[in-house]
């Protein structure tokens, strides 16, 4: 049966800018015994593309979502030991590679955010369009749920989450509504949250800017999964995992994510010499080379094929040399 129609991994998520990712990774993956880490395996679409395009490459696929890992592993089983799936958070990349006995890799790919699978599985609570328990954990086996956040955080902290992670103008009003509502009974369902958001957003603004609950749901998802903190640690750790000549490609879908990626790549691509030195010491020259001019976006063709690509911002860089000692972040003690 065609995987596109049987509910298998391939039919559940269309990889964004796949060919561009393959083109960017190609020079790094051309070496014998090349290894790539797909830090956001999802439904395995990008990984399958890599395994097909580069027949000698081995991929380590990380995902914190056990359901995604299971579906992708089934899809990628025909590639045998060229694919290894690991259940982990992507900031654990150093430990994952150490456990597998891999000292350095030639590529790292990160396709951030949620997968279509997660949005489509109504019961997981990611989508404002379906009534479901307020969960939103990418790894449903651990950590606080969206209900825990909404029922236990102080009002001002809920407002901060909505304002910062959702860029929600009416964060304070929505947070007030949440706290009033939970004084009667704890919130348990996504439909209750949607109702509170609707009441908190003035009618005049409700007519523009898409669904009024979109920003609130995005903000909560980021908070529940600690997404930005994990990304802050993961990008430098992924760069550290790259061999010289190795390449990192990151696809972000939201401005806060893209800013973290931009800063981490720019830090490596900029001289660390004080500006007043007459000659740049060799120790302070950049250790990364940017491969994209700013952030690349999807073109009209990609957009027509894959609506998810609408907000994508793609950045990539190549490692030129080892990170100099004075810029290395010490590893956390175990």
Ligand X SMILES: C[S@@+](CC[C@H](N)C(=O)[O-])C[C@H]1O[C@@H](n2cnc3c(N)ncnc32)[C@H](O)[C@@H]1O
Name residue 194's beta-bridge partners. Answer: none
Query: What's the min distance (Å) between Cβ of 242 and ligand X?
Result: 18
What angle, 0 to 180 degrees and rounded to 10, lies between the N-to-C axes of helices 66-76 and 45-53? 30
Query: What's the min distance (Å) between Cβ of 290 and ligand X?
Result: 22
111 appears as a binding residue in the annotation: yes
Q: Which helix (H) or strand (E) holds 84?
A: strand 83-87
Q: How many angstroms separate the CA atoms of 264 and 280, rounded?
A: 21
Which bin fits 163, alpha (ψ -120 to 50), beta or left (φ > 0)? alpha
139 appears as a binding residue in the annotation: no
Sign of the Cα torsion 178, 184, 187, 190 reads negative
143 appears as a binding residue in the annotation: no
Instruction: Check if the beta carbon of residue 130 is closer than 8 Å to that of residue 193.
Output: no
Q: How many angstroms separate the CA atoms of 231 and 233, rounded?
A: 5
Query: What's the min distance (Å) between Cβ of 27 and ligand X?
Result: 21
Question: Residue 197: which residues within 8 A CB-CB, separation 6 or more?
Answer: 174, 177, 212, 213, 216
Nearer to ligand X (CB atom), residue 174 or residue 235: 235
Phi, psi angles (nearest 5°) of residue 104: -160, 155
Nearer to ligand X (CB atom), residue 40 or residue 238: 40
Nearer to ligand X (CB atom), residue 40 or residue 145: 40
Residues lying near ligand X in the complex (CB under 6 A) are found at 13, 15, 40, 42-46, 62-65, 68, 89-90, 111, 113-115, 138, 230
- Cα 69 vs. chain centroid, distance in angstroms? 15
Q: Which residue is nearest to ligand X (CB)?
A: 42
44 appears as a binding residue in the annotation: yes
Nearer to ligand X (CB atom), residue 8 or residue 245: 8
Query: What's the min distance (Å) between Cβ of 45 and ligand X?
Result: 3
Query: What's the min distance (Å) between Cβ of 225 and ligand X?
Result: 6
Query: What's the min distance (Å) between Cβ of 114 and ligand X?
Result: 6
Nearer to ligand X (CB atom), residue 45 or residue 177: 45
Nearer to ligand X (CB atom), residue 15 or residue 286: 15
3-state helix, strand, coil in the chain (%, to 5): 50, 15, 35
Residue numbering of the annotated binding site for S-adenosyl-L-methionine: 44-46, 63, 90, 111, 118
Residue numbering of the annotated binding site: 44-46, 63, 90, 111, 118
């Amino acid at each position: 049966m065609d995987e596109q129609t049987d509910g298998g991994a391939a039919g559940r998520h269309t990889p964004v800018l796949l060919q561009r990712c393959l083109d960017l990774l190609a020079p790094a993956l051309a070496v014998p015994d090349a290894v790539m880490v797909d830090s956001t395996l999802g439904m395995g679409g990008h990984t399958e593309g890599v395994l097909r395009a580069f027949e000698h490459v081995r991929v380590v696929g990380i995902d914190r979502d056990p359901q995604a890992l299971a579906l992708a592993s089934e899809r990628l089983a025909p590639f045998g030991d060229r694919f290894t799936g690991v259940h982990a958070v992507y900031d654990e990349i150093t430990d994952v590679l150490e456990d597998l006995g891999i000292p350095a890799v030639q590529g790292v790919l990160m396709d951030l955010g949620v997968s279509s699978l997660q949005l489509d599985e109504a019961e997981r609570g990611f989508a404002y369009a379906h009534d479901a328990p307020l969960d939103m954990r990418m790894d449903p086996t651990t950590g606080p749920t969206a209900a825990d956040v909404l029922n236990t955080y102080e009002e001002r902290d809920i407002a901060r989450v909505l304002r910062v992670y959702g860029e929600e103008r009416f964060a304070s009003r929505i947070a007030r509504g949440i706290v009033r509502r939970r004084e009667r009974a704890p919130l348990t369902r996504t439909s209750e949250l949607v109702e509170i958001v609707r009441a908190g957003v003035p009618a005049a603004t409700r007519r523009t800017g898409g669904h009024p609950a979109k920003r609130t749901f995005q903000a909560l998802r980021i908070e529940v999964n600690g997404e930005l903190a994990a990304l802050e640690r993961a990008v430098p750790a992924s760069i550290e995992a790259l061999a010289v000549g190795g390449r990192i490609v990151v696809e972000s879908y939201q401005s806060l994510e893209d800013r973290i990626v931009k800063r981490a790549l720019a830090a490596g691509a900029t001289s660390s010499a004080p500006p007043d030195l007459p000659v740049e010491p060799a120790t302070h020259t950049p250790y990364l080379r940017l491969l994209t001019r700013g952030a690349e976006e999807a073109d009209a063709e990609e957009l027509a094929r894959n609506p998810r690509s609408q907000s994508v911002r793609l950045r990539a860089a190549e490692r030129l040399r080892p990170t100099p000692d004075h810029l290395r972040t010490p590893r956390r003690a175990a």
